[in-house]
């Protein structure tokens, strides 16, 4: 994050201008409860479709709908003021045609007030990215481990283990950069490949499980806060919020059971 607080919300061009400069700080967030704590401390917030797994207990991101992304995107935009808000395009909303993709992206922009959308895929999505970006919608791309392709990839596994796979991921990153994406998430690749991609493309690379060679980093908020039981190996836990919630609930439960709970009519104050 740049040290100075912005007077206005950050934009996609602000993020693009950070290529090769001060590292870009980003996290996912999905709710009006947590996004305001993240907002002043990061450059952009991604309302990721990972919300299907970490907020809705889905097995993968494949069942996330456009309406669900809009509901969460709206909550995050309303409860923040400084970061660029990027909303993920869910599986099935953009792959069939560039026109479908534009319509879905336009709904995300119009109905949430977000500043950009993100979609997964490299070379096969380049034409779609160019089409959407040329019509005024900033697009962030996502290459390497692309969770919406979990079935084709054979699981949530790191990518780029042989020369052909590395060539393909590099070509994907170059294609999305040339197509007009303003940044690209690089997920689950080894450090030398992340470094090569970062050197090769004209846009900021945002790493997740891709080493510190990238222009910026992103993590799933619930993972780094300790709100999810299982996290990928590369994730460092910076908080123990799950434990904090459990101990607060235990304290409350004990007071209720011992009939020492302090809430009564005289002390009750309405919210707001």
Tell me if residue 196 is catalytic: no
DSSP-assigned beta bridge partners for residue 226: none
Contact pick of 28, 80, 83, 177 for ligand KIV (by CB under 6 A): 28
CA angle 142, 88, 26 (to 5 degrees): 70
If binding is defined by CB under 6 A, does position 88 make contact with ligand KIV? yes
Catalytically annotated residue among 127, 187, 196, 258: 187
Token pair listed for 125: 């999505």
If binding is defined by CB under 6 A, does position 26 make contact with ligand KIV? no
Q: Would you tell me the crossing angle of helices 163-179 and 191-200 to the nearest 10 degrees?
A: 30
Choices 4-12, 41-49, 163-171, 257-265; region in contact with ligand KIV by CB under 6 A: 41-49
**Would strands 183-187 and 205-208 be described as parallel, antiparallel, or unpaired?**
parallel
Nearer to ligand KIV, 1 or 269 (CB): 1
Smallest gap from Cβ 222 to ligand KIV, in A, equals 10
If binding is defined by CB under 6 A, does position 50 make contact with ligand KIV? yes
Q: With CB under 6 A as the rule, give the number of residues binding ligand KIV.
A: 11
Smallest gap from Cβ 261 to ligand KIV, in A, equals 38
Place of tokens 């390497």: 144
> What distance in Å separates the CA atoms of residue 82 and residue 73, rounded to the nearest whole number?
15
Sign of the CA dihedral with 129 first, then 132, 138, and 142 last: negative
Q: Are 11 and 84 in contact (CB under 8 A)?
A: yes
End-to-end CA distance of the chain: 32
Q: What are phi and psi of 110, to 5 degrees?
A: -70, -40
Q: Is there a binding annotation on residue 120?
A: yes
Q: Which residue is nearest to ligand KIV (CB)?
A: 48
Residues 198-217 that bind ligand KIV (CB under 6 A): 208
Smallest gap from Cβ 213 to ligand KIV, in A, equals 17
Residues that bind ligand KIV (CB under 6 A): 28, 46, 48-50, 88, 142, 185, 208, 218, 220
């Amino acid at each position: 994050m740049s040290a100075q607080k912005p007077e206005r919300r950050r934009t996609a061009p602000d993020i693009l201008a950070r290529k090769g400069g001060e590292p870009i700080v980003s996290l996912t967030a999905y709710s009006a409860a947590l996004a305001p704590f993240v907002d002043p401390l990061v450059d952009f917030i991604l309302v990721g479709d990972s919300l299907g797994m970490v907020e809705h207990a889905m097995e993968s991101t494949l069942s996330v709908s456009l309406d669900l992304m809009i509901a969460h995107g709206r909550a995050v935009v309303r409860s923040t003021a400084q970061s660029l808000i990027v909303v993920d395009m869910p599986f099935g909303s953009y792959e069939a045609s560039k026109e479908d993709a534009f319509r879905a992206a336009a709904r995300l922009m119009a109905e949430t007030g977000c500043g950009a959308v993100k979609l997964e895929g490299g070379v096969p999505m380049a034409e779609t990215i160019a089409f959407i970006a040329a019509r005024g919608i900033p697009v962030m791309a996502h290459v390497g481990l692309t969770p919406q392709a979990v079935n084709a990839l054979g699981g949530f596994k790191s990518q780029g283990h042989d020369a052909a796979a590395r060539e393909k991921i590099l070509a994907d990153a170059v294609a999305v950069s040339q197509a007009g994406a303003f940044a690209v998430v690089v997920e689950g690749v080894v450090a030398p490949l992340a470094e090569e991609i970062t050197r090769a493309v004209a846009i900021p690379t945002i790493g997740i499980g891709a080493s510190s060679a990238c222009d910026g980093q992103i993590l799933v908020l619930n993972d780094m806060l300790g709100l999810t039981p299982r996290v990928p190996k590369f994730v460092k836990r910076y908080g123990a919020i799950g434990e904090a919630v459990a101990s607060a609930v235990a304290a409350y439960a004990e007071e209720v059971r011992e009939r020492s709970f302090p809430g009564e009519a005289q002390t009750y104050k309405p919210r707001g």
